[in-house]
Structure 1
């Protein structure tokens, strides 16, 4: 069997297990806003936001370095 397929299936199984174990609803409050969502969905959104911020920050710093040379 292909190692990539095994790795992908293992990762997918871990993601499903993570989602099943973190279905508890949590409430997030920020200033005047309040929202309720599952813990796993919250972690997914935070991870996505972190990846996007890191991607833009890396591109900005790379552009600044190229600009200074």
Structure 2
């Protein structure tokens, strides 16, 4: 139990350090849309999008294997 808590605290501290060091605002332009986000938020959003795409791809592969 204490081991999991310690790992959670270490990961939380690392995420906070990452967020503070990447706090600069970055502008994003996509066609006619423009927005400004902190760099760390943008990196986390891209990470989440990648996780979701990977999960969907894995689900599709599993479905195809089960139907064969």
TM over 0.5: yes
SS state of the match for residue 23, structure 1? coil
Runs of 4+ in 1 over 4 A off after TM superposition: none
Deviation track 1:3-43 (CA, whole Å, cap 9, x = no partner) reads 11111100000011011111100011111111100000001
Query: Which structure 2 segments of 5+ residues have no match?
Result: none
- The count of aligned residue pairs is 68
Deviation at 1:52, TM superposition (A): 0.7
In the alignment, which residue of structure 1 is the partner of 2:67?
A: 67
- In the alignment, the residues of structure 1 paired with residue 10 and residue 65 of structure 2 have an alpha-carbon distance, to the nearest angstrom, of 39
Q: Does 1:50 align with 2:22?
A: no
Helix, strand or coil for the counterpart of 1:28? strand
- List gaps (5 residues or longer) in structure 1: none
TM-score normalised by L of structure 1: 0.92
Task: Answer yes or no: is 1:33 the counterpart of 2:33.
Answer: yes
Q: CA deviation at 1:55?
A: 0.5
